Amino acid sequence: MRSLPAIIFAIAIVLAAVVLGNAVINRNRPQGTVNVTGLGESNFTSDLIVWEGNFSRESSEIQTAYSNLEKDRKAITSYLDSKGISSSQIIFNAVITNPQYRQNYSNDGRYLGQTFIGYQLNQSIKIESKDVEKVEKISREVTELLNQGIAFYSQEPRYYYTDLESLKLEMIAKATEDARIRAEKIAENSGSKLSDLISANMGVFQITGQNSGEDYSWGGAFNTSSKNKTASITMKLVFEVD
């Protein structure tokens, strides 16, 4: 009859053989990962417009300059009201006062100091509205104020979208689905099967003007000059494959 140590030794040899056999099988099993990048993209139209402009008056007397500026402010308010913009929608910023000086030079070019000649007063206005088409039209026609003797300078409107967070979620979902489909196709073509998701990394959210040819920015592009825009985002996914 075999001794107990001999029996234990024999069992150990069998167990070792089993373990080593499984190690070989697992080592040869086709495992790996697939890395894919998906794109989510959507065109949309801005639903909020921000338009700004400014006007100014000059005079040797600050009271006269301010009085003329006040007349211009009332005329601008009346003009915008006639175009359908109520006074409650108009934000008039504080008046900025700039003293004006003339630089004096001698006939031979020596600087002789400066002479005070008066004041320049500037005031800017700002309008935010969801009636994009109306304000857009006014921004183009506001030069009509020149006929009233008002030196009004209009800036280019800026365009925004108020439901941006929902749009981001939609783009993330599209980009994730696009990446998953790409990963499944790669796995299928290589004779493998897509398994668990290992990691997911979101790219930078980009907003560019439609058909503008704008470049993406590493920090994210955010176009405000175009009414019609394109939003996009990428998702980088890593899957296990069997």
Can you tell me the mean pLDDT for 49-54?
Answer: 97
Is the model more confident about 241 or about 211? 241
Can you tell me the mean pLDDT for 107-126?
Answer: 95
* Tokens 């058909």 found at: 211
In 81-226 the beta strands, taken as DSSP E runs, fall at 90-92, 96-105, 111-129, 152-154, 158-160, 194-202, 206-209
Cα-flanking dihedrals φ and ψ of residue 118, to 5°? Answer: 150, -160
Q: What contacts 112, CB < 8 A, 6 or more positions away?
A: 104, 105, 106
CATH of 30-45+163-241, one of 3.40.50.300, 3.30.110.170, 3.40.50.200, 2.160.20.10: 3.30.110.170
pLDDT digits (tens, 9 = 90+) for 6-18: 444 444 443 333 3
Residue 107 per-residue DSSP state: T
The second-level CATH assignment, the architecture, of 49-158 is 2-Layer Sandwich (3.30)
Domain ranges of the chain: 30-45+163-241, 49-158
The closest of 50, 53, 51, 49 to 145, measured between CA atoms, is 53
Per-residue pLDDT, 15: 36
pLDDT digits (tens, 9 = 90+) for 70-96: 999 999 999 999 999 998 899 999 999
Pairing mode of beta strands 32-45, 96-105: unpaired
Per-residue pLDDT, 1: 47
Per-residue pLDDT, 239: 93
pLDDT digits (tens, 9 = 90+) for 166-211: 999 999 999 999 999 999 999 898 888 898 999 999 999 999 999 8
Strand partners of residue 41:
232
Per-residue pLDDT, 216: 77
Per-residue pLDDT, 31: 62
Per-residue pLDDT, 192: 87
pLDDT digits (tens, 9 = 90+) for 139-160: 999 989 988 899 999 999 999 9
Report whether pLDDT(23) > 90.
no
Can you tell me the mean pLDDT for 129-138?
Answer: 96
